[in-house]
């Protein structure tokens, strides 16, 4: 058997799967209840062992919020998990589960999940963008995750789109996240992204203008990743997929507005298919690929 873990700021999800990636059991809990990395590892190991029976666990992978150190298997400095700095998650999981453990960026593994089991199936080059409170991404090139030299590739949200734009929490000015992320939307309007999207769906003009502006900037990012990566498909996941009809037309329109990206090389834009299961599905695939 193999296992995949999706460690988020809000929830931890674990999935147990057959060697072919077929998930036979999954479980979740609130991250806040676990408090420490060791408690998370213990909860995960218990959840896996309860269902593993006499079968053998061959590999586990865990997706976690960056920045992480993939060469040493360490969660470096996750902004949404205060107190979890420098946790050697690979070693801790290996000790608790008795099998090889692999740490990767959460958005990268969600991209791996969508590529193998979701909206990206059958493509060769795929850009995955997760668009929620923050904006992240994962790049699949020739069927392989582009992890980069330090496990930090695919940081789509921190591409600078307008150097005179507002300051983002990352310390850069005018990066994609500051124009599109839900956290910044709330900081600028006082309302949560969920409230703004709901109002826009009900026809509120001001809310619609805020959503359109965010979608316009996301569209520019699609132009940029198309020019850099030349994917056949761009898959968009995260909270925004619940309001897909509100943003998809603008994304399509902005991408089409680039005369440089001619129709024959224009990638498809698709909504992610796995919802909030993308991370655990991707972690299972990642563990499977490590065998």
CB nearer a copy of itself, residue 87 or residue 105: 105
Token duo for residue 291 = 């065998």
Site residues for a copy of itself, window 6-65 (CB under 8 A)?
none
What is the C-alpha separation between 161 and 213, in angstroms, rounded?
A: 13
Of 13-21, 55-63, 197-205, 258-266: span binding a copy of itself (CB under 8 A): 258-266
- Minimum CB distance to a copy of itself smaller for 57 or for 233: 233
Contact 4, 285 (CB under 8 A): yes
Among 20, 53, 83, 260, binds a copy of itself (CB under 8 A): 260
Instruction: Give the contact letters, 71-110, x = binds to a copy of itself (CB under 8 A), - = no.
Output: ----------------------------------------
Q: How many residues bind a copy of itself (CB under 8 A)?
A: 46
Nearest to 187, CA basis, from 172, 171, 168 = 168
Cis peptide before 142 (omega within 30 of 0): no
User: Rounded to an integer, what distance in angstroms lies between the CA atom of residue 248 and that of residue 246?
Assistant: 6
Instruction: Tell the smallest beta-carbon distance from residue 85 to a copy of itself (Å).
Output: 13
CB 223 to a copy of itself: min, Å = 6
Site for a copy of itself in 124-163 (CB under 8 A): 124-125, 139, 141-142, 144, 146-156, 158-163
**Shortest distance, position 91 Cβ to a copy of itself, whole Å:** 20
Binding mask 156-175 for a copy of itself (x = CB under 8 A): x-xxxxxxx-----xxx--x
| Smallest separation, CB 267 to a copy of itself (Å) | 8
Residues lying near a copy of itself in the complex (CB under 8 A) are found at 67, 124-125, 139, 141-142, 144, 146-156, 158-164, 170-172, 175, 220, 223-225, 227-232, 258-260, 262, 264-265, 267
């Amino acid at each position: 058997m193999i296992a995949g873990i999706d460690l988020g700021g809000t929830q931890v999800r674990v999935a147990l799967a057959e060697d072919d990636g077929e998930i036979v059991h999954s479980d979740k809990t609130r991250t806040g209840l676990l408090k420490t990395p060791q408690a998370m590892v213990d909860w995960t190991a218990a959840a896996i062992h309860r269902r593993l029976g006499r079968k053998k666990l061959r590999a586990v992978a865990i997706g976690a919020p960056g920045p992480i150190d993939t060469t040493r298997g360490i969660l470096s400095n996750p902004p949404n998990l205060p107190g979890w700095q420098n946790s050697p998650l690979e070693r801790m999981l290996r000790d608790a589960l008795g099998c090889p453990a692999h740490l990767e960026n959460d958005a990268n593994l969600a991209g791996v999940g969508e590529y193998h089991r979701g909206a990206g199936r059958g493509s060769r080059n795929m850009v995955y963008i997760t668009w929620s409170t923050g904006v992240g991404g994962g790049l699949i090139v020739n069927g392989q995750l582009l992890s980069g030299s330090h496990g930090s590739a695919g940081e789509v949200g921190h591409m600078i789109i307008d150097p005179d734009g507002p300051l983002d929490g990352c310390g850069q000015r005018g990066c994609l996240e500051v124009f599109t992320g839900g956290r910044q939307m709330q900081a600028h309007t006082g309302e949560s992204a969920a409230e703004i999207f709901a109002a826009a769906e009900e026809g509120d003009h001001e809310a619609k203008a805020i959503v359109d502006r965010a979608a316009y900037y996301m569209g520019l990012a699609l132009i940029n990743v198309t020019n850099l990566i030349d994917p056949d498909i761009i898959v968009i996941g995260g909270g925004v997929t619940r309001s897909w009809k509100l943003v998809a037309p603008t994304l399509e329109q902005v991408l089409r507005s680039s005369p440089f990206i001619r129709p024959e090389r224009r990638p498809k834009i698709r909504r992610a298919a796995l919802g909030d299961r993308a991370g655990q599905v991707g972690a299972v695939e990642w563990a499977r690929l490590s065998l």
